[in-house]
Structure 1
Amino acid sequence: MSPREQTHRPARPQRWQWVLTASIAVGSVVGGIASNILADMIDPKLGPITWIIAAAGVVLVGVLATLEVRSRRALQAGPAVEPKPPVSVQEAGVPVNLPDTTGFVGRRSVVDWLGDAVRTEHAVALLGRRAVGTSACVVQAANAVRNHYPDGQLYLDLRKTDRRGTARSLRPREVVDALCRTAGIDEAALSRATDLDAAATLLRTALGDRKILLVLDNVDSPDQVRPLLPPARRCRLLIAGGPTLHGLKGVRTRHLAEPSAEDAVELFAAAARDAGSVRRGLQSEPTVRRIVELAGRQPHAVRVLGSWLAAQGWSAPDLETALRHGLDNGRVDATLTLLARRDRAYAGLAADTRRLVRLLALVPHPVSRNAVAALTGTNRGHTDRMLDQAAESAFVTVTPDGRYRLRPLLVHYAQVHLLCDEPPRRRVAAQARLVRYLARQAERYAETVLPDQPSGTEPGGSWFARHEALLGSLICEPWGRPGALPANPPRRMRRWWLRLAVALCTWYASTGRLDDWAAVCRAVLNSPVARQSAAVAGWAHNELGAVYRWQGDPHRAAVELTAAVALRHRRGAAQSRTNLGLALLDQGDVDGALDQLQRARQQRSPSDRAGQALTELGLGVAFLARDEPRFAGRHLIRAANQFEVVGDRRGYAAALTNLALAQWSLGERLDAAQAWSAALECHPAVQDRQGQAAALLNAGAIVAAGAVAAGAGQQGSRRRAAQARELLQQSLRIRQDDGRPTGRTLLHLGDVARILDGPDDARQHWEAAVEACEKAGDADGAAAARARLSDQDAPAENS
């Protein structure tokens, strides 16, 4: 850190105060004159108006005077809490004798390493981000070994601050010229050195064999020190610089990170003690550890907080409460302002990079460069430059897949800067831009995960998997909490946020992650978006109903879908009625299911071919359950044709699977075989494991029924039974792997086993089918398995 940055000049009075003072004075005079004229023109008794206006002017002047006094007191109190700098302030660019350090705490291993290294190496550098303490460590180490350099020790600050407080790095020629003047080279000889190399040669010649230690502080660029390498034979260079010096040839380097938690606590206690605090045992208080972590363990900020604690006469819990109160409630107070203004590493960044750093505090997870560009509202080229600077200054880290996030140690400090330096309106605008960008990306990739692409292998699945944590936090985090979306979002944010939630539900549905799907739906129901729009709440209830139906809970699904029907408009209500009809069908309420499905069919828009196909599929399944295969076949044929037109291979396969059952019931065995064969070809292409298991079960049941009808002694019967067993076993493996009910599959495997293996194997399958059906709540399947067991036991009893 730069010693020059540690000085604080008294701030000039703000310009608005002078303007306001002049305005009040002129307004008072003009108002008094106008009131007198008005009183003379209207009524001489209106003279009190003059006194009223004058009194108002006096009150305004008093308010302004109060603000001025408070401002001056704040200016006077600022330097009072500033601790004494570890390295005394020196004029930049002018070599001086090695200064001493004050208040240096911890980091003994670093200082010892520097002392040992500078005795054996010609050039040694301690590298670290700005304000991490490299200057203090280097000067401390130089003082420890100064006796080894009797010909002198020189300190040179390579960062210069102008009158406006803007710091700039000295140019390489400026560095060499300053050292040449210190070495005794006259200006005439120095002026004849036309280039940098000639000036560096003059410096090496002037130093000769003198044993001198040069300490170069605040080195920002390798070009500043490259002309000095290698140094004179007996001269040594000790450098404090930034990470950009890594890899500089001829220099032994070591990286310096933030102090450990123990050293930071000791630094805090020492600063409080030096500022006059009488409190003891600060090192052992857990509150102090939390305070230094909140300050990012930045040495200067930690020392300032210690001095502030002593100046206010607070305890450590009081200081933590003051800091947390502002962060948790979104209010800027004197303590947070003090902490924000003492972050020198942050102050050393460019203005746009500082804004990027504090906006990243809005995002708790890594984001891509394009997402950062959306967050900041800048183009990619500008964003890349800002990210590079933030990464070089160790504010952000890069994940292996090229995404960026704030360093965990600096997250709380960045939140302080966000609260102090970024107005709420701009924070909301940045969040809105990020949500819009992510929603557009999510919608684009959601198109690739349904219905035909295999989930998890296409670009959409990998994009969602990579950004899942970020998307989940934006959707599921309660609105209004610190770090979350605002409690009263603008309309554009609500719209894009909902589209992002819909795309995320699409991905969860495609991957079968029902619990995560349900969590997103509940988050939508609890959001301000659903409270302001009944249609949005209806959509969330509809999605929850679909989740519960997939989870095998048709009663809860019917409750949610009933609420969805009541809240949604015509087209949305049609979809919810379709889902409600399927849920009622799962409960065995066939008449109620048919009523809902037929009403959904009437409400469907003619242009909604996919919705019409889904409703026709539901009607077909309902008529199958009602044992009316002829009506079922008509609806299922329409569903299959419409699914094929819209290109939904999954729906097409489901329609064919049920159509095969209807055709088998009508005695159309050849058509049924063709239907389930076509269905089995579709399911692997769309990675619909449950649909494939259902198709295999239906096909196996059909073939098994044909084998049973043909009789156990027929050769064709055994061939059909072997074919049915293969289909049923494939279905059983899929259902067991996915944790789905297996009762019906075991039931038909028992029928096949009776033909191929004998009654004992059949009994084992039927007993397992009874247990599986009872566990899944399938009363009809359990009754069918018990009936088969009873039929098998009856001949044995009669014999």
Structure 2
Amino acid sequence: MRVNLLGPVELVSAGGEPVRLGAAKRRTVLAALALELNRVVSGDRLLDVVWDGSPPPQAKAALQGHIAQLRKVLSGGVALITRAPGYVLTGSRDAVDAFRFEDLVARARDAADEQAVDLLREALALWRGPVLADVPGDQLREAVTARLEEQRLVAVQDLATRLFRLDRAAEVVPGLRDEVAADPLREALVARLVLALHWTGRQAEALELFHRTRGRLAEELGVDPGPELRDAYQTVLAGDAVPPRAPVSHAPAQLPREHRGFVGRELELSDLRESLMGQDSAIGLLVGPAGVGKTALALRWAHRVAGDFPDGQLFVNLRGFDETEPLDPRTALVGFLRALGLTDSQVAADLEDQAAQYRSLLAGRRVLVLLDNARSAEQVRPLLPGSARCLVLVTSRHRLDDLVVTEGATSLHVPTLPEESAEHLLAALLGRPRIEQEPEAVAELCELCDRLPLALRIAGARLASRPRWTIQSLVDELRDEQGRLSALSLPEAGRGVHAALAVSYRELPEGAARLFRRLGLHPGTDLDSYAAAALLDINVVSARTHLRTLAYANLLHESTPDRYSRHDLVRLFTHHLAAFESEADNKLAADRLLDYYLHVADSARAHLSDHVLPFGPPEHRPASFPALSSHAAALDWFTLEEANLGLALDIAVNAGERERTWQLALCLDAFHFRRGNRLDRLALCRIGLAAARSLGDGHAEATLLLRLGSTLADLGRIDEAVEACTRAAALAGGDRDLELAALANLGYCLMADDRLDRAQEVIMEALEVAREVGDDRTQANLRNNLANVLLRKHQPEEALRHATEALNLFPAAPSKAHTATLHTLGAASQQLGRSDEALESYRAGLALAARLGDRYQEALCHRAIGDVLEQSEGADAARPHWLAAFNLYRDLRLADADDLARKLSPAAHPAS
């Protein structure tokens, strides 16, 4: 079965009989799917195309009806399949005449003249009229007509050229007359008809056609005939009676050779074809950081599609990021005008006139223009053709958003190579055997080079010239961050990652350049505009302007709104820049950054912990900082900044900033307490405790000891926990709030050690202090702990009473303690045999824990629900909850996971 689109839409059976399609819109559905053969077309796209951008309310149902009817009539290797998010028509390319036409023309390009004539005639015979001639609506037809019609005319021209070479010019005349009548200003067609008339003895007709066309060009376009038509005229005047073996062509072919060892990029190449080919006046932008391989990608794609641009390919390196000044667009234009056949005396003097000449020479032609390394839209704009048939591809480190806005350019970001392609690039340089000997070293080398093609090629060149080196030896050298950039440079050529980044840096305006230097003091791989503002001591609005400038230059990447990341090699380059700043300036900027993180972390801690007394104002209060007004906002901020906060803590420790150290450690402990991450809490408490002790700050030491004690208790290290809490109580020194916290923690630790009577005594003592200071929240926590003690003493009725009183004491805002108390209520109900009430409490606790991001309480509730379900419904009902608890325990690196693993084992619950 075949689908014909080159004329009215037809469906033809394997026997050659037309198949009735019915409704006109059904033909549109078939055509839209056939044009995307073997590719999914979304339902939304089909609705848009079939109803010309305005689908009525009932369109979806109508589309489904058309799909169902088409499925009934399709057969013979062509099928219509539903595949999210829409539909796909499957079949061979021969099944669609448009694709068969393209394949025949492609085969003809590489064929000898006799065979090429047969192939081109077979291809042109597939045309039965205008493309999609009977498809209602314009959207689909306009999307494909220009591209296919251009390919048809190119095939007509190529057929004429091949017949000229075979001395069969007479066969060309009838067809060319029709084409010229339809498109009288297409000079390539006119030139061939002039030659065909001349070589068949009709010189007068040939001359009359030339003069008529020259008049129309002058009248309608204001231009003279181009080189190809002028050459045809000269041939007639000279009286050459024999067609040349190959007609003289002034089609420029300026594309440089492709880069050897080009690998991967199939997704990007496909995106370029889909975004640009078949579009009128298409402009594509390949944008990406230095060394990412934009030029190599552009050349690979340009060589692939060069055959679709029979009037030539123009190329210029605009040198926007060279050590020298960027190329003046006048210079580029003069080069293009010479390539298009003008002599120096014919080239206009000023830029505007040169651009007008350039557009005139390209009028009606199909030329590919590749503008490499553009610095700005102003440099590119004079080099844009006026012809809708031309295509322009621009590469730049800058985003050139102005071209997107004013010229409708399509921007495609070029990312670093995926891991597999990076390894293939090294294999192309070093040979597969050498790569396969050290796979782990190869993988690390790719990462140390940020998977940037430039860095990988330099690394590969160094290894290729030193065959006795192991890949691991270079990896060992590159691990040293101090020398990595110099190791990835070619000093003798002035090339490399450092040189490429230096050029981009030098072009930055002062404010952005100053921020870029300051980024060398930031320890992480990403940051937001508030942290950037702290580094410069400016407001966040100004910081955002500078960050956007850096992102525009592809020195940073905006990974999420208002959050910017950088490649590791860029990070090392900023370290290099920062090293040239004064020590005093660097110290001040680093202190401002630490105080920014500390200030915001302290405000976030207040939402995550009870009884938080804020730290005193920082030495350097940030000019701008995010307002965190809820528990969820605080948890989200900590989650985003966890890595940066950890690195900031390392800076404080290494710099001997003891007060900042214990305060940052305490803030991070609050976050990990919410997440249930005990091992990280243990390390943080010890770091903060050491700093507090070295300061001689007893209050800070007691606070950290309390946090340490609760962590040790959760880890089952009760003796150490009791010791820490006892020491904290001794340091409280009349501070009733701190004394209360110490007693509460001590009671918790004694309970964890099953010293239940003593635990009950301490908790009751703590309750008296809580009543004395009027602390309802701590009373609630203590009553929950008391309920747990009573549960262990098998007094569930009393436990249930205290847990209920605890819930009534909590303020309205939910907290981690709410979740723990709901778990206690469930345990009391379970011990009393009230399974339904237990499940209700556990599930309420689970929902609240998930809402608060408390993964430890989530694990406890999942496990408890599983245990209740096991008793009432069996192990199969319990297993999903046990599995969820197991995964959470494992993520938190807790030994409880081992116990659950045994419960989840099939051997633990044999089939009955």
Contact residue 478 and residue 484 of structure 2 kept, 8 A: no
How far 1:295 moved relative to its partner? 1.0
SS at match of 2:373: strand
Aligned pair partner of 1:442 in 601, 606, 631: 601
1:218 pairs with 2:373: yes
Q: Which residue of 2 aligns with 1:682?
A: 809
Contact residue 601 and residue 638 of structure 2 kept, 8 A: no
State the Cα deviation string for residues 686-710 of structure 1 (Å, max 9, x = none): 545379679989x99xxxxxxxxxx
Q: Which residue of 1 aligns with 2:476?
A: 321
In structure 2, distance between residues paired with 1:262 and 1:735: 45
Matched residue type, 1:466: D
SS at match of 1:106: coil
SS at match of 1:257: coil
Aligned pair partner of 2:461 in 307, 320, 327: 307
TM-score between both structures, scaled by the size of structure 2: 0.48
Q: Which residue of 1 aligns with 2:260?
A: 103
State the Cα deviation string for residues 565-617 of structure 1 (Å, max 9, x = none): 567777598567645764687576989998xx9xxxxxxxxxxxxxxxxxxx8
SS at match of 1:306: helix
Change (3 A) 1:435 1:516: farther
How far 1:560 moved relative to its partner? 1.7
1:384 pairs with 2:568: no
Change (3 A) 1:334 1:211: closer
In structure 2, distance between residues paired with 1:189 and 1:534: 82
In structure 2, distance between residues paired with 1:315 and 1:251: 46
**Which structure features the higher share of helix residues?**
1
How far 1:361 moved relative to its partner? 9.0
1:495 pairs with 2:626: no
Contact residue 417 and residue 453 of structure 2 kept, 8 A: yes
How far 1:437 moved relative to its partner? 0.9
In structure 2, distance between residues paired with 1:695 and 1:112: 59
State the Cα deviation string for residues 224-245 of structure 1 (Å, max 9, x = none): 4445545347655443345435
Matches within 5 A, 1:521-600: 521-524=684-687, 535=698, 536-548=700-712, 555-564=719-728, 571=735, 574=739, 578-579=743-744, 582=747, 586=751
1:268 pairs with 2:426: yes
TM-score between both structures, scaled by the size of structure 1: 0.54
How far 1:440 moved relative to its partner? 0.7
Matches within 5 A, 1:696-707: none
In structure 2, distance between residues paired with 1:355 and 1:237: 35
Unaligned runs of 5+ residues in structure 2 are 1-251, 613-626, 788-800, 848-856, 865-912
Q: Which residue of 2 aligns with 1:642?
A: 773
Q: Which residue of 2 aligns with 1:417?
A: 573
Change (3 A) 1:690 1:308: closer
SS at match of 2:456: helix
Matched residue type, 2:771: A
In structure 1, distance between residues paired with 2:802 and 2:756: 28
In structure 2, distance between residues paired with 1:533 and 1:574: 19
Contact residue 514 and residue 547 of structure 1 kept, 8 A: no
Matched residue type, 1:619: E
In structure 1, distance between residues paired with 2:744 and 2:783: 20
State the Cα deviation string for residues 348-382 of structure 1 (Å, max 9, x = none): 24564596388379554653310232245554344
How far 1:489 moved relative to its partner? 1.5
State the Cα deviation string for residues 526-553 of structure 1 (Å, max 9, x = none): 8666566574554322222244567897
In structure 2, distance between residues paired with 1:241 and 1:512: 44
How far 1:439 moved relative to its partner? 1.4
Contact residue 287 and residue 414 of structure 2 kept, 8 A: yes
In structure 2, distance between residues paired with 1:431 and 1:213: 51
Matches within 5 A, 1:156-171: 156-160=316-320, 165=323, 167-168=325-326, 170=328
Count of matched residue positions in the alignment of Structure 1 and Structure 2: 547
1:281 pairs with 2:444: no
SS at match of 1:650: helix
1:335 pairs with 2:487: yes
Q: Which residue of 1 aligns with 2:286?
A: 127
In structure 1, distance between residues paired with 2:528 and 2:746: 43
In structure 2, distance between residues paired with 1:356 and 1:538: 41
Matched residue type, 1:559: E
Contact residue 291 and residue 452 of structure 2 kept, 8 A: yes
CA RMSD, 1 decimal: 5.7
In structure 2, distance between residues paired with 1:114 and 1:686: 53
How far 1:323 moved relative to its partner? 0.9
How far 1:181 moved relative to its partner? 6.8
Contact residue 819 and residue 846 of structure 2 kept, 8 A: no
Matched residue type, 2:529: R
Change (3 A) 1:247 1:650: same
Change (3 A) 1:266 1:459: same
Contact residue 155 and residue 214 of structure 1 kept, 8 A: yes
State the Cα deviation string for residues 257-301 of structure 1 (Å, max 9, x = none): 33444443344355568xxxxx96336642234213321222222
Contact residue 97 and residue 153 of structure 1 kept, 8 A: yes
Contact residue 680 and residue 696 of structure 1 kept, 8 A: no
In structure 2, distance between residues paired with 1:360 and 1:393: 17
Contact residue 598 and residue 663 of structure 2 kept, 8 A: yes
State the Cα deviation string for residues 477-511 of structure 1 (Å, max 9, x = none): 797xxxx53752143xx3233223323444566x5
Q: Which residue of 2 aligns with 1:257?
A: 415
Matched residue type, 2:706: N
Unaligned runs of 5+ residues in structure 1 are 1-94, 274-278, 598-616, 622-634, 661-673, 701-720, 744-799
State the Cα deviation string for residues 185-244 of structure 1 (Å, max 9, x = none): 878984577xx4x65333222445666553321234444444554534765544334543
In structure 2, distance between residues paired with 1:736 and 1:102: 58
1:515 pairs with 2:671: no
In structure 1, distance between residues paired with 2:724 and 2:430: 60
In structure 1, distance between residues paired with 2:692 and 2:573: 29
How far 1:447 moved relative to its partner? 3.1
Aligned pair partner of 2:386 in 226, 231, 255: 231
Contact residue 679 and residue 695 of structure 1 kept, 8 A: no
Matches within 5 A, 1:195-206: 196=352, 199-206=354-361
In structure 2, distance between residues paired with 1:355 and 1:504: 27
Change (3 A) 1:309 1:209: same
Contact residue 158 and residue 169 of structure 1 kept, 8 A: yes
In structure 2, distance between residues paired with 1:550 and 1:113: 54
Contact residue 545 and residue 556 of structure 1 kept, 8 A: yes
Matched residue type, 2:709: G
Change (3 A) 1:340 1:642: farther
Q: Which residue of 2 aligns with 1:71?
A: none
User: Percent sequence identity over matched residues?
Assistant: 22
Contact residue 656 and residue 675 of structure 1 kept, 8 A: yes
Q: Which residue of 1 aligns with 2:209?
A: none
Matched residue type, 2:447: E
In structure 1, distance between residues paired with 2:835 and 2:263: 75
Contact residue 525 and residue 571 of structure 2 kept, 8 A: no
In structure 2, distance between residues paired with 1:112 and 1:729: 54
Matched residue type, 2:638: E
In structure 2, distance between residues paired with 1:199 and 1:653: 83
Change (3 A) 1:125 1:514: closer
Matched residue type, 1:389: T
SS at match of 1:459: coil
Q: Which has the higher contact order (CA 8 A, sep 6+)?
A: 1
Change (3 A) 1:567 1:250: closer
SS at match of 1:216: strand
Change (3 A) 1:104 1:253: farther
SS at match of 1:685: coil
